[in-house]
Amino acid sequence: MDVRLDALGVDIGSRSVEVVGLAGGEVVVSLKAPTAFDPAGQCARLLEGLAAGRTTATGYGRDLFVRTFGAEARLGVVATVTEIQAYARGAAHLFPEAHSVLDIGGQDTKAVVLAPKGRVLRFEMNDRCAAGTGKFLEFMATALQVPLTEFGAFALRGRRGLKVNSMCTVFAESEAVSLMGAGERPEDIALALHLAMVERLSGMLRRNACAAPLVFAGGVARNPCAVALVSEWLGTPAVVPADPDAVGALGAALCALQAAEMRA
Amino acid sequence: MSETTYHEMWEKLNLDLPAHDALLAVLGKFYGDIYMSQQGRLKGMEYLDFVLSEVHGLRIKELQEAKAAGRKVVGAFCVFVPEELTLAANCVQVGLCAGAEAGTELAETLVPRNTCALIKSFIGFKLARICPYIESCDLIVGETTCDGKKKAYEAFSEIAPVYVMEVPQCKSDADRALWRSEIVKYKARIEELTGEAITADKLGQAIRLVNAKRRALNRLAALRAADPAPISGRDALLINQVSFYDDPVRFTTSVNALCDQMEERIAAREGVAAKGTPRLLLSGCPMAVPNWKLPFVVEGSGAVIVGEESCIGTRNTRDLVDETAETLDDMLEALTDRYLKIDCACFTPNAERQDNIIALARDLKADGVIHYALQFCQPYTHEAFKVEKALTRDGLPMLAIETDYGMQDVGQLKTRVEAFVEMLKA
B411 and A60 in contact by Cβ < 8 A? yes
- Are both A251 and A219 inside the same structural domain? no
* Shortest CA gap A169–chain B (Å): 18
For the residues of B295-351, what is the DSSP string, one character each? Answer: HHHHHTTT-EEEEEESTTTHHHHSSPPPS---SHHHHHHHHHHHHHT---TTSSS-H
Contacts for B30 with CB less than 8 Å, ≥ 6 apart:
B290, B292
In chain A, which residues have their Cβ closer than 8 Å to the Cβ of B416? Answer: 125
The per-residue pLDDT for B1 is: 42
The per-residue pLDDT for A144 is: 94
**CA A94 from chain center: how many Å?**
15
Residues with pLDDT less than 50, chain B = 1-2
AA letter at B344 = C
Q: Is residue B292 part of a domain?
A: yes
Q: Is residue B305 part of a domain?
A: yes
CATH number of the domain that A151 lies in? 3.30.420.40
AA letter at B369 = V
If pLDDT is split at 50, 70 and 90, which confidence band does A33 have? very high
Q: How far is CA B96 from CA A23, A154, B6, B161, B170, in A?
A: 60, 57, 20, 14, 26
Number of folded domains in chain B? Answer: 1
- Are both A26 and A123 inside the same structural domain? no
Whether B317 and B265 have beta carbons less than 8 Å apart is answered as no
The per-residue pLDDT for B3 is: 63
pLDDT tens, position by position, B250-306: 999 999 999 999 999 999 999 999 999 999 999 999 999 999 999 999 999 999 999
Tell me the three state secondary structure of residue B289.
coil
Of A81, A115, A125, the CB nearest to B422: A81
In chain B, which residues have their Cβ closer than 8 Å to the Cβ of A108? Answer: 412, 415
Whether A248 and A13 have beta carbons less than 8 Å apart is answered as yes
- Are both A233 and A258 inside the same structural domain? no
- Are both A55 and A131 inside the same structural domain? no
Q: Is residue B185 part of a domain?
A: no
Q: Is residue B171 part of a domain?
A: no
- Are both A102 and A77 inside the same structural domain? no
pLDDT reading at A105 higher than 50: yes
The residue segments making up the domain with residue A44 are 3-86+246-263
- Are both A22 and A51 inside the same structural domain? yes
Of A84, A108, A128, the CB nearest to B408: A128
- Are both A54 and A106 inside the same structural domain? no
Q: What phi, psi does B271 have (nearest 5°)?
A: -165, -175
A120 and B397 in contact by Cβ < 8 A? no
If pLDDT is split at 50, 70 and 90, which confidence band does A263 have? confident
In chain B, which residues have their Cβ closer than 8 Å to the Cβ of A82? Answer: 415, 418-419, 422
Q: How far apart are CA B375 and CA B385, in angstroms?
A: 15
B399, B405, B423, best to mutate vs chain A, most A CBs in 10 Å: B423
The per-residue pLDDT for A166 is: 81
Q: Is residue A91 part of a domain?
A: no
Residue of chain A nearest B423, judged by CA positions = A120
Q: Is residue B202 part of a domain?
A: no
B412 and A120 in contact by Cβ < 8 A? no
CATH number of the domain that B282 lies in? 3.40.50.11900
Helix axes B200-223, B328-340, angle to 10 degrees: 30
AA letter at A91 = A
Q: How many CA atoms lie within 13 A of A23 on its CB side?
A: 10
pLDDT tens, position by position, B136-178: 999 999 999 999 999 999 999 999 999 999 999 999 999 999 9
Of A108, A120, A125, the CB nearest to B426: A120
Length of chain B: 426
Q: Is residue B381 part of a domain?
A: yes
Q: How far apart are CA B363 and CA B358, in angstroms?
A: 9
Provide the edge-to-edge strand list for the sheet that holds A16-23. A26-34, A16-23, A3-12, A50-58, A77-80
Q: Report the candidate in B137, B166, B148, B161 with the shortest Cα–Cα distance to residue B66.
A: B137
- Are both A235 and A253 inside the same structural domain? no
Number of folded domains in chain A? Answer: 2
pLDDT averaged over every residue in chain A: 94
Q: Which residue has the higher pLDDT, A75 or A128?
A: A75
The residue segments making up the domain with residue B288 are 208-320+344-425
B419 and A127 in contact by Cβ < 8 A? no
Q: How far apart are CA B261 and CA B42, in angstroms?
A: 7
Count of A-B CB contacts under 8 Å: 38
Q: Which residues of A touch B (CB under 8 A)?
A: 60, 81-85, 108, 115, 119-123, 125, 127-128
- Are both A120 and A217 inside the same structural domain? yes
Vertex B342, ends B314 and B183: CA angle to 5°? 125
Task: Give me the percent of chain A exceeding a pLDDT of 70.
Answer: 99
pLDDT reading at A152 higher than 50: yes
In chain A, which residues have their Cβ closer than 8 Å to the Cβ of B411? Answer: 60
ipTM above 0.85, yes or no: yes
Q: Report the candidate in B201, B179, B216, B200 with the shortest Cα–Cα distance to residue B82.
A: B179
If pLDDT is split at 50, 70 and 90, which confidence band does A127 have? confident
A128 and B397 in contact by Cβ < 8 A? no
